[in-house]
Amino acid sequence: LYLLDKTNNQVWKHNATTSGFGNGTGWLKEDVNLRNAVGLSIDGSVWIAFTDGIRQYVNGAESLWRMQSIDPADFRLRELVIPATGSSLFVLDEMGKRVIEMVKDTGKILAQYPLPAEQIRDFAVDPTKKEILLLTNSQLLRLTYEKK
């Protein structure tokens, strides 16, 4: 179990025990300002979404991975999802009112999906069904997408 601690600028790793989880140990090995962090996803690497971009961390250190330019360039990320299968990552852009799909290995933008509603609270992705599930204050919406 990994927890994002914005107050202490740390990602805490809690190992499973027979009765739950142990005390957390600091996972990041370098100073990182997590004040603008908005999401965390893990696929072997630790991915942290910030309002202004995404960073990948491997063994506690930032990797050289970079997100390619987004067009339009005005964006404010709010959440990050990396499905267990597939080669994509998805981010919720609150300002651009869209979900952006990127190639996980390269950061290349594959597609941008306009949001069908305002005030998306959270989202999930099912790559098997090619669906993006969007949670609003009052409903759960389903958006289908084409596999790239």
Q: What confidence tens digit (pLDDT) does each residue in 64-121 have?
A: 998 888 887 889 999 999 998 889 999 999 889 999 999 999 999 999 999 887 789 8
Which two three-digit tokens encode residue 50? 């910030």
Percent of the chain with pLDDT over 70: 99
Residue 112 to residue 110: CA distance in whole angstroms: 7
E strand segments, 18-106:
20-21, 25-26, 37-42, 46-50, 53-58, 61-62, 77-81, 88-93, 98-103
- H/E run at residue 86: none
Q: Residue 147 pLDDT > 80, yes or no?
A: no
**What's residue 86's pLDDT?**
85
User: Is the entire prediction scored with pTM above 0.85?
Assistant: yes
What three-state secondary structure class fits 59?
A: coil
Q: What confidence tens digit (pLDDT) does each residue in 22-69 have?
A: 999 999 999 999 999 999 999 989 999 999 999 999 999 999 998 888
